Amino acid sequence: MNIFVCTAQIVSQPALCKVENVNSSYMIIAVQNFRTTATPLIVKAFAKGKIAKKILQEYSLGSYVIVQSSIYVKKTLNSSKNSDKKKLKSVFIKINDIFNL
């Protein structure tokens, strides 16, 4: 498991999802890319329990936050008829704690 601490901007309004009586929140955040000409990295983020409720109550679209999280990388195969089989990577982060900036 990789620990990840960064400053991010919330790009989508946090949404609440309740599965088996456990609150979970998901949103899309933008993390600054330190290359000079590159655009920000867009990452899907999710949280569970008390952190999910805290996100919904205190943060909204456009807020800048400090995120302490774990990184998950999901690899999938893209097998379309027009192209060769390619591995696609999706990056998700599970928020462990979040702070105001």
Say which CATH number the domain at 16 has.
2.40.50.140
CB atoms within 10 A of CB 13: 12
Give per-residue pLDDT as tens, 5-64.
999 999 999 999 888 888 999 999 999 888 777 888 899 999 999 999 999 999 999 999
Domain that holds residue 51: 2-100
The total of structural domains in the chain comes to 1
Strands 15-19 and 41-48 come out as unpaired
Looking at the chain, which runs of residues are DSSP E strands? 2-10, 15-19, 22-31, 41-48, 64-78, 86-100
Give per-residue pLDDT as tens, 56-92.
999 999 999 999 999 988 888 776 666 666 777 788 9
Q: Which residue has the tokens 């989508």?
A: 12
Strands 2-10 and 22-31 come out as antiparallel
Average pLDDT score over the chain: 87
